[in-house]
Structure 1
């Protein structure tokens, strides 16, 4: 039966454990001589061989040029290059600081390497090779961690599974921070186990600081492990009656990662106005135009289920070997029961994984790029799955060794058999990036003026290759655009209007299939310069999150370059016809800042409705085009006018498009009940016009205008039951 022995004095770095194969007590190689451990070298070398083969396949598919499988890698390279040239977190030189890099420590390291002279065509290969090295170190450290926790056999099996993992090899050669995050996670656990025997954690908090500055997911892991360290320190102090000032000092030292994270987020808040990274603002379900708790919970649970499906390996996908997650849970339970000295570690791993999965599940596209946000968990998952195989083998005393060896061999064979598919998938995705984003970026460099400003909705390669000023419409690299983009093209249009003229785009490079393409409805897209259509190969086989690699999945196979046209920019600011009175206030619907100033909100008739924004162009009285941004409303709205004259009749002039579903159909959804400061005023009926929005008025009696401010509510004619108002609102003017 597997024995988990307690650490003995003088051997706390490597805990002698029962060998899973024989049950005899054996001593792993001393932790003080890691460079003399042949097992670690062999496993690390195998990992390097696997990633080298991935890179060779990638090169063969891309005419022997290094290309990452995701465009986001170029975001890191651009930030790192800017850091290396002295422009800290400025995506464009001279820009305000932005937080589009998902890993601060990773881009700082790459920036330092760039400053040392690894530049030009050598920079991307370095990033990809650095990832390969990090994965090799991760595999070797997983072997040592497994040996320390449950014996050499466990360590070897876990290290081999990491080295042969297709998803990890994909992530390591992607140019992203995936393998670096995995390395820090395993290193954090390994250093913890080395310091656990004395319950004096000197270096574990230092490694936890690096983890906290790398990814939010690792910060969660570091926080849980810090609580475990505090628990061990307090328990040890009670047993030894150590002086409490010394204990308090050790606890304060354990808090290092919390201090580092607080400093990082405080810096973000001061520099950008938000403590959250732009990636979170752009992708989180908690930042949608309307947040419905149960709707969010439903999507979070759906994302969580995707992760469980992938890690269980019981679907038709090839992410891990079948039953991996179930065995990992059994491994955590087994380690907790049989090894008292590792109970805190077992709890930290279990809780940490749950917190990371729950955190990532709050993202709208949580499984993006083969679940790259949770790929760094794989080494820990695979290690505890192997421990779980050992625990399961104990249930069959007569055939324990056969079950153990058979389970490990099946897991290794499954992992190895999927490597060709993952390498091919990576190369095909890289070919899509080369055929589209890299090609487009080089076209921009060769065909657009050197001082041109270019707006894009996939920001990586264009900035890195084109040497042009880039405006990121998604909001990762351009601070202030993430939230408007979530609301839709209408709000994005209004944010573009606010840009200083020297930062306003001269050209747009847009995926035809993305919602950002709706900016064209506002006349911003002028002359079409060129359209790029993908010719690269599709996926040979899809897997979880593969659709988000949209070039190879053909979800974004066409990109058009437009010359910007700003001629209609302010055409919708005034009513089409002069109003009968003075305009006292104006609410520009879809302009998020103006909506906030007027306390504007959509009051939906149904939970789950997202009042997204859009653009519409109509022909004005003089025959010219007029553009305005609007928001779709199903139910009603409320807003507050300012600067009114009390005691004077108020006319609300509204720019409304009530043509849902058809202009000629009497749907009953083109009327709203109007309240002024909670007083019922009457019914406002909208006239439909198939050409677009119309301007219509509603009068509020003078006796209801008692203050300089007035809150107006538009809603259904009857509570609970339809037909509900269904229209788009663009602008409201207060006229007296």
Structure 2
């Protein structure tokens, strides 16, 4: 960028952010300014300490929770580490029954070091939660001062799913951190800088804009992070699509602006930086997946789409965070640029992608947390502006701490801050299910002879403990259930199981420990058939100490 555009950018920064420090020197007493800076620093440190304690205390309360699906990742990692490839059952064809390829590789890496266990994956998720807090703050600093830039994480950490999925052993928090990193790198690449606003007396600006030169290398970093996100989650390419929407809109805005010279050459280099990194790597990954699995889409995606309640996950998101969503959408009513368009574009592509998704895979906002983390940034900015409007005439050094204190003090009404006791009780109840499933897995490994298989849903811990050959009744690891003619037809699936597969063991999920109350359409179809009643006999039960998760073992009668 030449000197002319740099001068224009500096003038725009000065108009947006108020007078420079040298221009304010004559109107501000140095001693008062030092007191102001000390007050702001103390408020910032105290707020960080409170948020850290509030979050870490809940992480500790939920730590014993490890989701069943984390053990699917570990089973694939164990087979990969042993040289058997990405297979679910040893000796069978590869199947992409996981949704987190990079996490499978990471787990295998830990296994090569002697720790093939869920604990390192859980620690990685918790470390990513710290990274999310910083990245949200860094993005918010493109709008506001350091103290109100803490509001996004204050909003984000209200959701139980934030804690729940960070300790789960799955990749959720790592993926959210990558998405936030993509947005921050894009904003840096597009020239958005941290703002420096006057927090002194008088009604100064609460939200600012600072633009500098374009940084094509930062867009190349964003492309690399998008690729990592695509390795971590199948919807990773959606982030690249959101980047294209946000960056393209910013290019159009800048090209029509009279406020600064348009750097067409810099934009071309920036676009090439992002595309040149992401597209070749993504094409190579897609080609490998097609060659290895014979499919472009993971079996998990085909398995968990097409749910009859098409808007279940979107409704769950609205129910969980209505105030945050409303605050986030207030900002675009004022002005639009990439800082706003990138989070909204990501939320929009997720809203479209999650239409028809099975709600069982997304409880506690699991699949919306990446978009939610960025919408929380917009919510924090809107809250700051609203507080400045309500307290107009009052110095920002008083308004902003008061706003942050109000948000922290009213955490439960804003989003339902989970109680530590509730998290601990949920983790304990889930642990009872895990123990029942682990005992079932050991039983299957002992009972099945070579060449025999069991039909089972909830295959994580049971499949990890003993590594028995399993037909996944919930279809994640069994492609036939996700393909025609069995897809979406539990009656045909039941016939296929009984007539063609004839597993040695069928494990029926029951809601009751005392009687068979099948969980899931496939089990209701099975237990009603005369062929099942005549050909399989109940042999044993594995009951959880709590909840409606019990397992009845039926063995085939030859």
Q: TM-score, normalised by structure 1?
A: 0.58
Is contact 1:50-1:169 (8 Å) kept? no
- Please name the residue that 1:433 is paired with: 433
Aligned partners of 2:460, 2:56: CA distance in 1, in Å?
A: 24
Pairwise CA distance, 1:9: 10
| Corresponding position: 1:488 with 2:490 | yes
Pairwise CA distance, 1:389: 0.3
Pairwise CA distance, 1:57: 3.4
Is contact 1:205-1:253 (8 Å) kept? yes
| Corresponding position: 1:257 with 2:269 | no
| Corresponding position: 1:75 with 2:33 | no
Task: Say which of 392, 405, 423 aligns to 1:409.
Answer: 405
Query: Cα–Cα, structure 1 residues 71 and 44, in superposed 2: closer, same or farther, change >3 Å?
Result: farther
Q: Specify the SS of the correspondent of 1:424.
A: helix
Aligned partners of 2:223, 2:7: CA distance in 1, in Å?
A: 23
- Please name the residue that 2:526 is paired with: 519
Pairwise CA distance, 1:388: 0.9
Aligned partners of 1:124, 1:15: CA distance in 2, in Å?
A: 51
**Structure number having the greater helix percentage:** 2
Q: Specify the SS of the correspondent of 2:168.
A: coil
Pairwise CA distance, 1:487: 0.6
| Corresponding position: 1:57 with 2:61 | yes
- Please name the residue that 1:220 is paired with: 238
Larger radius of gyration, structure 1 or 2? 1
Aligned partners of 2:108, 2:342: CA distance in 1, in Å?
A: 33
- Please name the residue that 2:472 is paired with: 472
Aligned partners of 1:50, 1:481: CA distance in 2, in Å?
A: 43
Q: Specify the SS of the correspondent of 2:84.
A: coil
Is contact 2:175-2:232 (8 Å) kept? yes
Aligned partners of 2:71, 2:550: CA distance in 1, in Å?
A: 20
Query: Cα–Cα, structure 1 residues 95 and 447, in superposed 2: closer, same or farther, change >3 Å?
Result: closer
Is contact 1:283-1:364 (8 Å) kept? yes
| Corresponding position: 1:325 with 2:325 | yes
Is contact 1:303-1:361 (8 Å) kept? yes
Aligned partners of 2:508, 2:163: CA distance in 1, in Å?
A: 31
Q: Specify the SS of the correspondent of 2:170.
A: coil
Q: Specify the SS of the correspondent of 2:553.
A: strand
Q: Which runs of 4+ in 1 moved over 6 A?
A: 6-11, 14-17, 37-48, 233-238
Aligned partners of 1:145, 1:8: CA distance in 2, in Å?
A: 24
Deviations 1:643-696 (A, max 9, x none): xxxxxxxxxxxxxxxxxxxxxxxxxxxxxxxxxxxxxxxxxxxxxxxxxxxxxx
Deviations 1:206-259 (A, max 9, x none): 11111222224442122121343356568879934639xx93794374264344
Pairwise CA distance, 1:106: 2.3
Deviations 1:531-555 (A, max 9, x none): 123223xxxxxxxxxxxxxxx4x3x
- Please name the residue that 1:506 is paired with: 504
Q: TM-score, normalised by structure 2?
A: 0.75
Task: Say which of 544, 547, 554 aligns to 1:534.
Answer: 544
Task: Say which of 312, 315, 330 aligns to 1:305.
Answer: 315
Query: Cα–Cα, structure 1 residues 344 and 532, in superposed 2: closer, same or farther, change >3 Å?
Result: same
- Please name the residue that 1:93 is paired with: 90
Q: Specify the SS of the correspondent of 1:559.
A: strand
1:220-619 matches, within 5 Å, as 220-230=238-248, 239-240=262-263, 242=265, 247=268, 250-251=271-272, 253-254=274-275, 256-285=277-306, 299-301=309-311, 303-312=313-322, 323-334=323-334, 336-337=335-336, 343-365=337-359, 368-396=362-390, 397-398=392-393, 404-415=400-411, 417-420=417-420, 422-424=422-424, 426-446=426-446, 448-449=448-449, 452-483=452-483, 484=486, 486-494=488-496, 497-498=499-500, 505-512=503-510, 513=518, 514-517=520-523, 518-520=525-527, 521=529, 523-524=531-532, 526-536=536-546, 552=547, 554=548, 557-565=549-557
In structure 2, stretches of 5+ residues that fail to align are 25-40, 192-213, 256-260, 511-517
Pairwise CA distance, 1:326: 0.9
Pairwise CA distance, 1:448: 4.8
Is contact 1:233-1:247 (8 Å) kept? no
Is contact 1:184-1:211 (8 Å) kept? yes
Query: Cα–Cα, structure 1 residues 53 and 450, in superposed 2: closer, same or farther, change >3 Å?
Result: farther
| Structure with more relative contact order (C-alpha pairs < 8 Å, separation 6 or more) | 2
Is contact 1:58-1:430 (8 Å) kept? no
**Structure number having the greater strand percentage:** 1
Aligned partners of 2:264, 2:325: CA distance in 1, in Å?
A: 41
Equivalent residues, number: 484
Aligned partners of 2:58, 2:96: CA distance in 1, in Å?
A: 31
Pairwise CA distance, 1:478: 2.0
Pairwise CA distance, 1:52: 5.2
Is contact 1:136-1:163 (8 Å) kept? no
